[in-house]
Amino acid sequence: MSTEEQRLAPLRDKIDALDAKILDLLSQRAQAAQEVGHVKGGFASPIFRPERERQVVAKLQEINQGPLLPDGIAAIWREVMSACRALEARQTIAYLGPVGTFSEQAAQTYFGQSIAGLPCVSIDEVFKAVEKGAAQFGVVPVENSSEGAISRTLDLLLDAPVQISGEVVLPIRHHLLTKSGSLDGVTTVCAHAQALAQCQQWLSEHAPQLKRQAVSSNAEAARMAAADPTLAAIAGEPAQIAYSLQAVASQIQDDPHNRTRFVVIGNYVCQATGNDQTSLVLSVDNQPGAVHRLLAPLAKHGVSMNRFESRPARKGTWEYHFFIDVAGHADEEKVAKALTELQDTAAFYKKLGSYPRSSI
């Protein structure tokens, strides 16, 4: 045994002994979670409680003496609670598929790995899966830092009978992938239209010879590139792994801070956590100063606006719908007062949900 091995052996023995204790405690925790699940079953109440999961992590981060970092604690307990939640009842989570998409990564980032993933061919299908009860929750992209709002998601949120129960913000790292790891013989690069737009400068500078073909998702592009040596794909690491592709170039997005925000849709109304956001859709009659008057209650009651997005109204009597995110939970007094006055002023008003802010 080498000198290094001699010095590592007792430390590894110590780790093994500690791991055994941790496993015993985790097993006790899992049994307690199962009992929680039985209680919930008696009341037919929801298994997933995001506000409780935030509370669990926040308490541990508060008492943490190190050396684990807060993000490490959050990641560990996300998986601990994901596994415990699955013992209560495995949650089916719909997302824009196929496997390997950023939407799948967002679903796993939010719910952990212990979920039943339901890849859907379109954002519409994610909404349908949640509405018909085929999935408890859905994860859909709502805006990208480079390309702006995902209009289909906004249009579906307008009419769908679902709540926004959470949000996830993912850094988006696009890679140029092929089966061989080179561009020899490659004529076309495939990707979702958003990804092609987010990498257009890099493609023009480094691969202007490639034809650009938009497809339903980056993971679908990866699946195609895995089957056709004349194709390259722009996709993330999950798709690269899922379809055994090699990187020709990594992180080719034009904006190094490129990120996409996803919303979690479901029928669950989150309780306040102290770090929440409320999303709304509003419309006003087309009169001078109408939008200013519409938003006046927010300033009056000291409610901050985090986002304001206008969309042409595709039907009905109004010209625009305004998608607005405000800081705070709808149950907070100042937010509740502002929303009541907004509702009285607006020609159209829909509360999409109050939910915990993304921790990223």
Ligand X SMILES: O=C(O)C(=O)C[C@]1(C(=O)O)C=C[C@@H](O)C=C1
- Do the beta carbons of residue 47 and residue 88 sit within 8 Å? yes
Shortest approach of ligand X to residue 327 CB, angstroms?
24
Which segment (66-74, 84-92, 212-220, 352-360) binds ligand X by CB under 6 A? Answer: 84-92
- The CA distance from 92 to 176, in Å, is 31
Shortest approach of ligand X to residue 273 CB, angstroms?
12
Number of residues that bind ligand X (CB under 6 A): 11
Map the footprint of ligand X across residues 170-199, applying CB under 6 A: none
- The CA distance from 117 to 55, in Å, is 25
H or E element at residue 39: helix 3-43
Which segment (78-86, 167-175, 291-299, 347-355) binds ligand X by CB under 6 A? Answer: 78-86
Interhelix angle 102-111/70-88, rounded to 10 degrees, is 90
Which segment (81-89, 220-228, 233-241, 291-299) binds ligand X by CB under 6 A? Answer: 81-89
Nearer of residues 70 and 171 to ligand X, judged by Cβ: 70
Q: In the set 74, 88, 100, 356, which binds ligand X (CB under 6 A)?
A: 88
Indicate whether 104 belongs to the interface with ligand X (CB under 6 A): no
Cβ burial of 210 (10 Å; 0-12, 13-18, 19+) is middle
Beta strands in 205-258 (DSSP E): 211-215, 231-235, 246-249
Nearer of residues 17 and 23 to ligand X, judged by Cβ: 23
Antiparallel, parallel or unpaired: β 116-120 and 92-96: parallel
H or E element at residue 260: strand 259-266
Alpha helices of 112-230 — where are they, by DSSP H?
Answer: 123-131, 151-159, 193-198, 200-206, 218-227
Nearer of residues 49 and 175 to ligand X, judged by Cβ: 49
Shortest approach of ligand X to residue 58 CB, angstroms?
12
Which segment (48-56, 174-182, 230-238, 268-276) binds ligand X by CB under 6 A? Answer: 48-56
Q: In the set 53, 104, 143, 332, which binds ligand X (CB under 6 A)?
A: 53
Taking CB under 6 A as the rule, which mask of x and - marks residues 54-73 in contact with ligand X? --x-----------------
Which segment (17-25, 77-85, 141-149, 227-235) binds ligand X by CB under 6 A? Answer: 77-85
Q: DSSP class of residue 208?
A: T
Indicate whether 169 belongs to the interface with ligand X (CB under 6 A): no
Cis peptide bond prior to 98, omega within 30° of 0: yes
Which residue of this chain has its Cβ atom nearest to ligand X in the complex? 84
Shortest approach of ligand X to residue 153 CB, angstroms?
25
- Do the beta carbons of residue 136 and residue 92 sit within 8 Å? yes
Q: In the set 54, 57, 74, 81, which binds ligand X (CB under 6 A)?
A: 81
CA dist list (Å): 149 to 74, 76, 309: 28, 32, 8
What is the chain's alpha carbon radius of gyration, rounded to the nearest angstrom? 23
- The CA distance from 148 to 223, in Å, is 26
Which of 350, 266, 279, 278 is CA-nearest to residue 316? 350
Antiparallel, parallel or unpaired: β 320-327 and 259-266: unpaired
Shortest approach of ligand X to residue 309 CB, angstroms?
30
Nearer of residues 56 and 73 to ligand X, judged by Cβ: 56
Indicate whether 78 belongs to the interface with ligand X (CB under 6 A): no
Nearer of residues 77 and 243 to ligand X, judged by Cβ: 77
Nearer of residues 100 and 353 to ligand X, judged by Cβ: 353
Indicate whether 84 belongs to the interface with ligand X (CB under 6 A): yes
Taking CB under 6 A as the rule, which mask of x and - marks residues 16-35 in contact with ligand X? -----------------x--
- Do the beta carbons of residue 231 and residue 190 sit within 8 Å? yes
Judged by the rule CB under 6 A, the positions of this chain that interact with ligand X are 33, 36, 48-49, 52-53, 56, 81, 84-85, 88
